[in-house]
Amino acid sequence: MGYRIAIVGATGNVGHEMLNILAEREFPVDEIAALASRRSLGSEVSFGEKTLVTQDLDTFDFSGWDMALFAVGSDATKKYAPKAAAAGCVVIDNSSLYRYDPDVPLIVPEVNADAIEGYKNKNIIANPNCSTAQMVVALKPLHDRAKIKRVVVSTYQSVSGAGKEGMDELWDQTKSMYNPTDDVPAKKFQKQIAFNVIPHIDVFMEDGTTKEEWKMVAETKKIVDPSIKVTATCVRVPVFVGHSEAINIEFEDFLDEDEARDILREAPGIMVIDKREDGGYVTPVECVGDYATFISRIRQDSTIENGLNMWCVSDNLRKGAALNAVQIAEVLGQRCLKKG
Ligand SMILES: NC(=O)c1ccc[n+]([C@@H]2O[C@H](COP(=O)([O-])OP(=O)(O)OC[C@H]3O[C@@H](n4cnc5c(N)ncnc54)[C@H](OP(=O)(O)O)[C@@H]3O)[C@@H](O)[C@H]2O)c1
């Protein structure tokens, strides 16, 4: 016996990956509904070998559905997630709306699966920001061994993190560079993204950080340990899919780079590719379609007492969103909503 699952935002980047991953991992599904806005009513999406016809989220009745995986922005989530939850359907949400709500668990299954029991408070579970998800998978096993004091992270985030419109803008601007009669002004991003990098994701906060940077700080504390200090610089780069991060970690105790490499090799969700030779590391184009968070360039930071540097790459539409949401659904099914 399987579950009745609704995919909310099935026509988007993350929704599309959710459908792929549920099929790939043979999630026990009895019935699946693809939901999006009225604009997409009747359009088709693939679920494994099957084709699903998209339904209108606005008129959908969630009664009798076990789980709804939401991948629409915060505004639509605010309107529809409470309706689904009130109908008894557990919401697993990809937007930032509920992440900082103390009554809503924020889950990365490799790190804090036990917190899932908190879903009962509101029938809602939050999925973290894409940059946080891949970073905490790598931080947790190191924190368990040597206690992390402080993290300094710089991100190199792909345009798919800004949805399908972000991908279109990079594609159109890149083409227009070779055809000067086409002018594609910046719309989704604040400046030209083709052949450029932009040190600005989401809105500015009062202290000069951006909301994306603030999210990495707040979410790492909620998921891993409130005592960890994090400072982040989040940058958009002209890459279609795959986020990269340069991470500097200061530990309470000494941790040798070889031991760190061994710990990460054993850690769930991590793949270490770390050869000190040309090409002996992972770049974002190589992580697309993969489940793993890839760690490379692990090395001691000799400028501080107990420091390490590393390079972290993952598919933002997978571990950063859809895969993590499906993993949450798997834990929920196994621990809380058993069938059969
Ligand atoms: N991309 C990432 O790396 C990433 C990572 C973590 C979290 N997230 C979050 O996941 C969510 C989706 O991101 P995405 O990248 O998949 O965006 P996207 O490609 O732009 O897709 C947005 C989806 O939401 C639907 N939608 C938007 N407004 C709606 C409304 N009022 N009613 C019903 N459906 C509506 C769209 O339907 P139509 O096609 O009908 O317009 C589409 O299916 C966002 O909250 C985002 O912040 C994204």
How confident is the model at residue 180, as a pLDDT? 75
Å from CA of 26 to ligand 1 middle: 24
Q: Is 163 in the pocket of ligand 1 (CB under 6 A)?
A: yes
Q: Looking at the domain assignment, is residue 274 inside a domain?
A: yes
Q: Looking at the domain assignment, is residue 309 inside a domain?
A: yes
Atom 27 in ligand 1: residue holding the nearest Cα: 72
Note whether 124 and 200 are same-domain residues. no
Q: Is 57 in the pocket of ligand 1 (CB under 6 A)?
A: yes
Note whether 305 and 168 are same-domain residues. yes
* Residues flagged as binding site for substrate: 157, 236
Q: Is 39 in the pocket of ligand 1 (CB under 6 A)?
A: yes
Q: Looking at the domain assignment, is residue 257 inside a domain?
A: yes
Query: Is the model's pLDDT at 183 over the cut of 90?
Result: no
pTM for this one?
Answer: 0.97
Q: Is 42 in the pocket of ligand 1 (CB under 6 A)?
A: no
Note whether 120 and 177 are same-domain residues. no
Q: Looking at the domain assignment, is residue 45 inside a domain?
A: yes
Q: What is the pLDDT of residues 21-38, one digit of tens each?
A: 999 999 999 999 999 999
Q: Looking at the domain assignment, is residue 249 inside a domain?
A: yes
- Domain total for the chain? 2
Note whether 153 and 106 are same-domain residues. no
How confident is the model at residue 318, as a pLDDT? 98
| SS3 label, residue 146 | helix
Q: Looking at the domain assignment, is residue 200 inside a domain?
A: yes
Ligand 1 pocket test, candidate residues 55, 72, 239, most atoms within 8 A of CB: 72
Neighbours of 232 (CB within 10 A): 24
Note whether 84 and 164 are same-domain residues. no
Neighbours of 48 (CB within 10 A): 13
- Ligand 1 atom closest to Cα of residue 75: 31
Domain at 30, CATH number: 3.40.50.720
Calpha distance 148→139 (Å, rounded): 8
Q: Are residues 106 and 223 in contact, defined by beta-carbon separation less than 8 angstroms?
A: yes
Q: What is the pLDDT of residues 121-179, one digit of tens each?
A: 999 999 999 999 999 999 999 999 999 999 999 999 999 999 999 999 999 999 998 88
Note whether 331 and 226 are same-domain residues. no
Note whether 191 and 247 are same-domain residues. yes
Note whether 33 and 166 are same-domain residues. no
Domain at 300, CATH number: 3.30.360.10
Å from CA of 143 to ligand 1 middle: 33
Question: What are the φ and ψ backbone dihedral angles of 197, each rounded to 5 degrees?
Answer: -130, 145
Q: What is the pLDDT of residues 237-285, one digit of tens each?
A: 999 999 999 999 999 999 999 999 999 999 999 999 999 999 999 999 9
Atom 26 in ligand 1: residue holding the nearest Cα: 72
Q: Is 36 in the pocket of ligand 1 (CB under 6 A)?
A: yes
- Ligand 1 atom closest to Cα of residue 40: 40
Q: Is 155 in the pocket of ligand 1 (CB under 6 A)?
A: no
Calpha distance 202→130 (Å, rounded): 13
Calpha distance 279→112 (Å, rounded): 33
Task: Just list the catalytic residues.
Answer: 130, 243
* Residues flagged as binding site for NADP(+): 11-14, 39-40, 160-161, 180, 316
Q: Looking at the domain assignment, is residue 340 inside a domain?
A: no
Structural domain harbouring 141? 131-316
Q: In this structure, what token pair is assigned to residue 118?
A: 């908190």
How confident is the model at residue 33, as a pLDDT? 98
Q: Are residues 3 and 333 in contact, defined by beta-carbon separation less than 8 angstroms?
A: yes
Q: Is 9 in the pocket of ligand 1 (CB under 6 A)?
A: yes
Note whether 28 and 13 are same-domain residues. yes
Note whether 309 and 325 are same-domain residues. no
Å from CA of 320 to ligand 1 middle: 14
Note whether 178 and 298 are same-domain residues. yes
Q: Looking at the domain assignment, is residue 191 inside a domain?
A: yes
- 272: exposed, middle or buried (C-beta count within 10 Å: 0-12, 13-18, 19+)? buried
Query: Is the model's pLDDT at 340 over the cut of 80?
Result: no
Note whether 310 and 235 are same-domain residues. yes
Q: What is the pLDDT of residues 217-240, one digit of tens each?
A: 999 999 999 999 999 999 999 999
Å from CA of 327 to ligand 1 middle: 19
